[in-house]
Copies of this chain bind each other. A is one copy, B any other.
Amino acid sequence: MTERSIVPREAGAEKRRLILAAAVRVFARDGYHTSRVGDIAEEAGIAHGLLYHYFSSKEEVLETVFRDNWRELLGLIRRVEESDEPADEQLRGIAKILLRSWRNDPDLVTVMVREVARSPHLQGQVEEIREGFASIQRVIERGQAQGVLRADVDARLASWIFYGGLEELLTGWVLGQLPDGDEEVARAERTIIDVVCGGLTARDTVPA
């Protein structure tokens, strides 16, 4: 429970985490390209050379930040996928996971949204990202098979649209363009489900 209980082997993993956490803060503050290895080390309270005992390069630090976190999100998403809730509730669950990550760790979301959702850095990770989309797609397909969701829509495209909507909401917060707060996050959750499941089109409310 105390620091002293950490056995040597864990100490290495611990320091690794320390560096990753520092990197997230620095990347969130300055952006990956602008951040210097020395900044990360300073934020972590270590000599910059030590960073290279744990990571082979600055880029590997970013990749690790992404991979570790995406893996965790993926695990949560899969748990939702494997639940026996109806598809629309599963989508709501997935939205919850992603949107709430903003409140849990804004710096981390900032890095994920800014640096990873794109180009050069994600080259090696495309496969892992794809799994997230695949999970959403399966949820939709199952919903269609069970008649909960309409079947005349391309599930794959729909999964990209759904994910894109979520990511854009996160981006809105990251950029300070959308109002922040627990209440706002809850509203965003409701809204994306309202939009994606219910649709924006007004229905003629059937009169009594």
Contacts and interface: CB of A to CB of B under 8 A. Distances in A.
A177 B118 contact: no
A54 to B, nearest CB: 17
Contact of A150 (B114, B148, B149, B202): B202
Contacts of A197: 199-201
Contact of A119 (B88, B115, B169, B200): B115
Given A165-B162, A177-B126, A195-B158, A31 B120 contact: yes
Contact of A198 (B154, B161, B199): B199
Q: How large is the interface on A (under 10, 10 to 19, 20 to 34, 35 or more residues)?
A: 35 or more
Contacts of A156: 178
Given A153-B200, A200-B150, A201-B197, A165 B171 contact: no
A126 B168 CA distance: 14
Give the number of copies in the complex: 4
A191 interface: yes
Contacts of A124: none
A147 interface: yes
A50 interface: no
Interface string A118-162: 111000001000100100000010010001111111101110111
A161 B191 contact: yes
Contact of A88 (B117, B120, B200): B200
A34 to B, nearest CB: 7
Interface of A: 31, 33-34, 88, 91, 113-115, 117-120, 126, 130, 133, 140, 143, 147-154, 156-158, 160-169, 171-172, 174-175, 177-178, 187-188, 191-192, 194-203
14 contacts: A31-B119, A88-B201, A114-B119, A126-B177, A148-B202, A153-B195, A153-B200, A157-B191, A160-B168, A160-B171, A161-B165, A161-B192, A161-B196, A199-B199
